[in-house]
Amino acid sequence: MEDSVNIKKNEEFVLRIKDMGAAEEGIGKYEGMTFFVKDALIGDLVRARVTKLKRTYGYARLMEILEPSPDRVDPPCAFHRQCGGCQLQALSYEKQLEFKQKKVENNLRRIGGFEQVPMEAIVGMEQPCRYRNKAQYPVGTDADGNIVAGFYAGRTHQIIPNRDCVLGLPVNRHVLDAVIEFMERNHISAYDEKTGRGLIRHVLIRCGFATKEIMVCLILNGRKLPRQEELVAELKKIEGMTSVSLNFNEKQTNVILGEETETIWGQGYITDDVRLPDGRKTLAYRISPQSFYQVNPVQMEKLYGLALDYAGLSGAETVWDLYCGIGTISLFLAQKAKQVYGVEIVPQAIEDARQNARLNGIENAEFFVGKAEEILPEFYEKEARAGRKAHADVIVVDPPRKGCDRRLLDTILAMAPDRIVYVSCDSATLARDLKVLCAGEYRLARVRVVDNFCQTVHCEVCSCLERGN
Ligand code: SAH
């Protein structure tokens, strides 16, 4: 089909970048064809060379920026082009926000079929750097045999050495220095993905922003860390160190964490406080290495505040919080509702959720381990067999990127809550799922984007569906 356009592989052409893709490339049109150009930003006029052609789109390599976008800024990180983690770092923060809001709106229109999107203004961050409370550094060996920790280059698995990511906290560097010095001193090897040999795979660091508690978890390709007490002695010197653990992962996969974790010093978890805007109550949460916890605590508080507002609770409601993690949203809901039920697939997270309810003296929240798409339908059917209709006034869902299973959406529709609050980190699957829900009796009442992942193309979306037209 290459002859359908006037351009061939390896040819160069000039185009203006108008958008950014889900896979983080700049997007522009040339002779009716859509081209994806890595490292090009919205607003750039570039010279590019065709690397791959399909029928209606193609890929091209950035050769030269002929006219930089007026919204380009000096990126705070020297590695940002190689690393690929912060696709938008060279774009002004204002434009980043504009881009994200537009992207969500477009997905809701295009995939969701919503003509009118009741979009509220995006919630940005005042200081959009050093916001991550969690870092997972891969450890490896460079060509000269030195142990390195850093980030994977682009979509490869080559490690770019960098112990101080600008999205993370400065303490990460101290932790990595201690781990690498310990490895060098004791001749402990780094894992090699190609051969499957070597011991240390990743260093996971988590920090409670409010409590300043730090957790370090080393992911091992093996069961034992020689001279671990020496490492613990070094890590303990870092202020705030609360938990040191080992996680065992001997599988040759890209999944970072294995199933088993052993605490070798301190507690098996850290605690963090979450305070909602408007001076609403602060809750304390305990977080285990395997549990999901929002990576941007500043924006997380804004997101949860919004979800709580959208839920519109008066105190009399029965609420389900599906994909509840450690019960973060559930426990805030519980303070304003009669009863909350949380469902989550990771058993450690549910253990955390139950502890968190106790820790905060909350007695009207109950948690279940399992898949949301199994637990809720099974509950619904059990009630039906007993001649009852499973009831919820409000259902909150906060699924991972792949969105909700159809079986779950059908059960939600059958339960017919007054409101559905859908929190999403992927607006394409959100749009797909909202279309299903709005084909029923629901209408999209409110939508707001929260920028929890500044400098990257990702964001969170909070939306509210109301029953009745
Ligand atoms: N609401 C929580 C967690 C959201 S992240 C918070 O804000 O902290 C999504 C969560 O869904 C993760 O904890 C993940 O472990 C869980 N999960 C993934 N697939 C699931 C499924 N099929 N059923 C239930 N939970 C699932």
Q: Cα separation of 231 and 186, whole Å?
A: 10
pLDDT tens-place string over residues 144-167: 999 999 998 877 788 999 999 999
Atom of ligand 1 nearest to the CA of 291: 13
Q: Cα separation of 152 and 173, whole Å?
A: 17
For residue 325 and ligand 1, the question of a CB distance below 6 A is answered with yes
For residue 234, the CA-to-ligand 1 centroid distance in Å is 34
The pair of three-digit structure tokens given for residue 349, joined into one six-digit string:
């997270």
Q: Are 52 and 9 in contact (CB under 8 A)?
A: yes
Q: Exposed, middle or buried: residue 462 (CB in 10 Å: 0-12, 13-18, 19+)?
A: buried
pLDDT of 226 higher than 50: yes
pLDDT tens-place string over residues 117-146: 999 999 999 999 999 999 999 999 999 999
| Residues assigned a catalytic role | 425
**Pick from 176, 24, 12: nearest CA to 96:** 24
Residues across the chain = 469
Q: Cα separation of 18 and 41, whole Å?
A: 8
For residue 444, the CA-to-ligand 1 centroid distance in Å is 23
The reported pTM is 0.92
pLDDT tens-place string over residues 174-186: 999 999 999 999 9
pLDDT over 90 percentage in the chain: 86
The pair of three-digit structure tokens given for residue 283, joined into one six-digit string:
């809750």
Q: Are 28 and 15 in contact (CB under 8 A)?
A: yes
Radius of gyration, alpha carbons of the chain: 24
| Inter-CA distances, 460 with 21, 110, 299, Å | 17, 18, 10
- Give the SS3 label for residue 123: strand
Q: Are 375 and 397 in contact (CB under 8 A)?
A: no
Q: For ligand 1, atom 10, which residue shows the shortest CA distance?
A: 323
Q: Per residue in 318-353, is it b (16+ CB within 10 Å) or e — as a string?
A: bbbbbbbbbbbbbbbbbbbbebbbbbbbbebbbbbb
For residue 371, the CA-to-ligand 1 centroid distance in Å is 9
- Give the SS3 label for residue 449: strand
Confidence at residue 5, expressed as pLDDT on a 0 to 100 scale: 63
Atom of ligand 1 nearest to the CA of 304: 7
Ligand 1 pocket test: which of 259, 292, 343, 424 has the largest number of ligand atoms within 8 Å of its C-beta?
A: 292
Confidence at residue 290, expressed as pLDDT on a 0 to 100 scale: 86
For residue 425 and ligand 1, the question of a CB distance below 6 A is answered with no
CA angle 448, 449, 450 (to 5 degrees): 120
CA atoms within 13 A on the CB side of 87: 24
For residue 93 and ligand 1, the question of a CB distance below 6 A is answered with no
The residue type found at 91 is L
Q: Cα separation of 270 and 290, whole Å?
A: 12
Q: Are 50 and 58 in contact (CB under 8 A)?
A: yes
Residue range 1-12: average pLDDT? 74
